[in-house]
Amino acid sequence: MALQAHLYGGSSLQVLDSSFASVAIIALALLSFAATLYNVKLNADCRNKETASKERISRNETEARNKEIRSKERIVRMQIEAELEETKMELEETKVKLEKTKMELKKTKMEPTYRLPSPQSNPGLTYRFLSSQLNPAAAAAAAIGSGSCCDGSARCWGSRSCDEHAVL
């Protein structure tokens, strides 16, 4: 400082004042720079908070949509399972009905609907019976014309009465 005062021709007090002013200006510039940096940091923090808030809101909306979708999927799955169970029950009922029908059909096949006449008891009757199977109209006319298809006990071949054969 003394050198400055000697070189510039001033008192050391003046140099001191100008040095102090320079330091103050530098300090003010540094403070201004620090304030600018702090302001930039605050703006960045604010933007980060806004971004984080938007992301959180978006995430919450996505989670709510996903929950809603899962809920709808669960409801649809339950409906499908209920329909499947109903269809299974209907299938079981159909199977039971089919088995009953098969059993009835077997019973029907086992039960004779008519009796074949024994050839030893009445050979002519067997001939008439067989011809009636080949040509029912001719057999009916022959039975009506002959008038005797019965053996006198009001029972006829095929377990029909004589009157029923007359209608044939």
Q: How many whole angstroms separate alpha carbon 160 and alpha carbon 115?
A: 10
Q: For residue 150, what is the DSSP state?
A: B
In this prediction the pTM is 0.38
pLDDT of residue 134: 52
pLDDT in tens, 62-97: 999 999 999 999 999 999 999 999 999 999 999 999
Domain boundaries, the chain: 2-86, 123-167
For residue 165, is pLDDT > 60? no
In whole angstroms, how far apart are CA 29 and each of 21, 26, 35, 43?
Answer: 12, 5, 10, 21
pLDDT in tens, 50-66: 999 999 999 999 999 99
